[in-house]
Amino acid sequence: MEWLGLQFVAELPESGQVILNCTHNPLLVLVAYLVACAASFATLDMAERVGHAEDPGSRRLWRWIGATCLAGGIWAMHFISMLAFQTPIDIQYDLAITLFSLVIALLASWLAMHTLSEPQPSLLQYFKTAIVIGLGIAGMHYVGMAAMQSAATAYYEPTLFGLSILIAIGASFAALWVAGNLREGSGLHNQMLKYVATLILGAGIISMHFTGMAALHLVLPEGNIPTLRAETSHLQLGLTVAFITLLILGSAISAALADKKLQNKEQDLRRVNMLLSQLDQARMSLQQAANYDALTNLINRRGFNQLFAEKLSQKSTEGGMLAVMFLDIDHFKRINDSLGHDAGDELLKVIAQHIKGSVRGHEDVVARFGGDEFCILIGLRDREEARNLAQRIMLKMKEPIELAGRRMVMTTSIGISLFPEDGTTCEELLKHADLALYQSKGAGRNGVHFFDSNLKNRASLELQLEEELRHALREENGLMLYYQPIFELKTGKVTKLEALIRWQHPLHGLLTPDRFIAIAENNGLIAELDNWVLRKACEDLGELSRHGCDDLKIAWNCSPLNLAREELANEIERALRSAGVAPERLELEVTENALMGNIANTLVLLRQIRALGVSLSIDDFGTGYSSLAYLKRLPLNTLKVDRSFILDIPKATADMEIVQAIIVMAHTLHLQVVTEGVESLEQYEFLERSGCDFIQGYLLSRPVPLHELRPVLEEINQRKHAHPVNPLTLARGTFSPVSMDLSPKSPAPHAGASVVRPIR
């Protein structure tokens, strides 16, 4: 290292004289330490900035500022320390070499800052870089020393020289490690760590310098007399350099601070923006939830009303026609009751898609109002367009839908009102579409009806009927029971009667149950109504016994709604007891879907009723969706095949196969089979061949009041061996009013050949 002017000696040369009284100005040493600390602080600060800066440009800038601060700081520290160095000889510095030492400092500092900008440097990486930086700092120091020109020669003690390099490496490692960690944290703890690290680093840098200085021995050639110089100029220069360096470092630190504040502000602003946009999204999804139906993704009633109001005001000013269409899925409740609500939901989704697929893209509005009720709003030129759309929807609806492993075909009832002819306000048009829908349902469902002003009267008629039914129940006035014989094929006798309610209305005449059962069900009157039928049927059973018919059973119908009432079993028991009738003579008829509604609770109730001795019959079998697994669990005695399967026999061979299968299945489950709605001899013969147990239908008799029953029964039972009669005569015959005295003494009138003998 001769070229650097570094001469290492184990022992000093014999010739020459060692300058022993080299001292350091304590004030300048302190100032140098201060500068070293300030440089360390600035570097740590810049490293933090580099870590936090977001765009690469500003990262690069802070890296350079950091490198300059560190290099400038170390270099100034070195320079001030050299000024603090007091020797009795005159010392000059070579400018070129001094500047070169600054370049070395700058390179080492840049390397330090570069390592610190790595995302997550490893410990080994820190260590390798620390060695290079340490060597760089030491290099700067010793190159700086080589710039020293004086009469004396510089000799270095190797141990202290090595130690100074080690200190440089150690300090660099500490600086890198602390700075790397500072980047992660924040807050007071971080700040304290930074201050402590600053002091340690400053101490490291300065120790390196003074260890290097301790290794130095200046030897004057013999005969050269050292002279004492005044040091005031060194002190002034040192202080000036320190002042300038500190000023520069201070500015850099302030700039970093300002940048940090600015960045924090920017981050705050971004956070606020993000929060605002999140808030906006939340508001939008709230609005979506408020105006949309979650199941089908169609708009809901609320959303529809808004759009409707907008469209209506637009049409009112610009002119044009609008149609409001109400849709109701026919017998949807059956799906929910028998297959469960999940299947019901699935079905609604498919139906919503069908409806959406039938309308014209975005122009028409499709909404779900809840349950199985949908509403469509369309702009149109004439009413035929509305009819066409309704028919398109009805056609689409008839496409089979796969659900819970079954294929089903749904139908829909539609009611339409038109703007402006049927109303000018939203409320009016909706109400009128609803009335039209009501009429569609009343007309047997699966149809379209336009609103007409007469419908208004119908709605008020319903209201009036409800009031009158309430009154009829309260006063026990007008309601009556008709009985329809159920013929047992095995014995060739009528062994059961089905009690069917009628209402003799003062104005509308004799009303059948389909006119008022729904009104009773919808207005909380059904329990009372069924109870009345129960009590009356029990009384009539007593009456029949008194007239010698004590082996006749009566089947009475119970609404599904009634099966949800726990007190039903007690009511049945009370009715039987007060009429003094054996429970075995009563049979309860419940529809398939009523059973499937709430199977667990229904099972408990049915078992209680069975325990009384009352038998159970499943009505309208085949129209619902009950599964065999459930049927097996129910305490049933009888299964009634629905009339719809008999209707087209003998034409419909598929229906014949179904009926035969039902009979076989019922027998396997030890159930007796009643087939209702038997109107023709062919049907009768087919059922007899198929092993059906009971027959009910107009072929035998229509339902008749109790006082007309006796001749009808006798007719059926007596005709066992007579010739078959044309069923047409029968149908006519049963209608002829026959007064009947149930007294056994009175001769039975022949009721105008009112019944036909079933062919056996």
- Chain residues that interact with ligand C2E, rule: CB under 6 A: 484, 500-501, 512-514, 517, 530, 533, 557-559, 619-620, 676-679, 696-698, 703
Q: Using CB distances below 5 to 8 A depending on partner kind, what does residue 697 bind out of Ca ion, ligand C2E, none?
A: ligand C2E
CA-to-CA dists, residue 143 to 79, 103, 105, 493, 673, angstroms: 12, 10, 10, 131, 116
Structure tokens at 171: 């300090």
Q: List residues binding Ca ion (CB under 5 A).
A: 557, 589, 619-620
Least CB distance to Ca ion at residue 589 (A):
4
Locate the DSSP E strands across 657-734. Answer: 672-675, 694-695, 704-705
Q: Using CB distances below 5 to 8 A depending on partner kind, what does residue 597 bind out of Ca ion, ligand C2E, none?
A: none
Q: Find out whether 234 and 166 touch, Cβ atoms under 8 Å.
A: no
Residue nearer to ligand C2E on the CB measure, 558 or 605: 558
Residue nearer to ligand C2E on the CB measure, 231 or 521: 521
- 505-536 in b/e burial notation, b at 16+ Cβ within 10 A? beeeeebebebbbebbbeeebbbebbbbbbbb
Least CB distance to Ca ion at residue 621 (A):
8
CA-to-CA dists, residue 758 to 80, 486, 493, 674, 680, angstroms: 132, 12, 10, 15, 10
DSSP letter string, 27-42: HHHHHHHHHHHHHHHH
Q: Using CB distances below 5 to 8 A depending on partner kind, what does residue 617 bind out of ligand C2E, Ca ion, none?
A: none
Residue nearer to ligand C2E on the CB measure, 336 or 696: 696
Q: Using CB distances below 5 to 8 A depending on partner kind, what does residue 679 bind out of ligand C2E, Ca ion, none?
A: ligand C2E
Amino acid at 52: H
Q: CA-based Rg of the chain, rounded to a whole angstrom?
A: 53
Least CB distance to ligand C2E at residue 717 (A):
19
Residue nearer to ligand C2E on the CB measure, 501 or 740: 501
Least CB distance to ligand C2E at residue 521 (A):
8
Least CB distance to ligand C2E at residue 355 (A):
31
Q: Using CB distances below 5 to 8 A depending on partner kind, what does residue 517 bind out of Ca ion, ligand C2E, none?
A: ligand C2E
Q: How far is CA 184 from the centre of its chain?
A: 38
Q: Using CB distances below 5 to 8 A depending on partner kind, what does residue 138 bind out of ligand C2E, Ca ion, none?
A: none
Q: Using CB distances below 5 to 8 A depending on partner kind, what does residue 484 bind out of Ca ion, ligand C2E, none?
A: ligand C2E
**Cα-Cα-Cα-Cα dihedral sign, residues 155, 159, 163, 166:** positive
Residue nearer to ligand C2E on the CB measure, 241 or 730: 730
Nearest to 483 by CA among 554, 576, 533: 554
Least CB distance to ligand C2E at residue 602 (A):
16
Least CB distance to ligand C2E at residue 530 (A):
5
Q: How far is CA 495 from the centre of its chain?
A: 57
Q: Using CB distances below 5 to 8 A depending on partner kind, what does residue 501 bind out of ligand C2E, Ca ion, none?
A: ligand C2E
Q: Find out whether 211 and 167 touch, Cβ atoms under 8 Å.
A: yes
Structure tokens at 518: 């729904």
What is the C-alpha to C-alpha distance for residues 419 and 381, in angstroms, rounded to an integer?
11
Nearest to 680 by CA among 710, 643, 631, 712: 643
**Cα-Cα-Cα-Cα dihedral sign, residues 301, 307, 309, 312:** negative
Least CB distance to ligand C2E at residue 558 (A):
6
Residue nearer to ligand C2E on the CB measure, 677 or 711: 677
Residue nearer to Ca ion on the CB measure, 129 or 675: 675
Least CB distance to Ca ion at residue 641 (A):
9
Residue nearer to ligand C2E on the CB measure, 314 or 512: 512
Residue nearer to ligand C2E on the CB measure, 300 or 484: 484
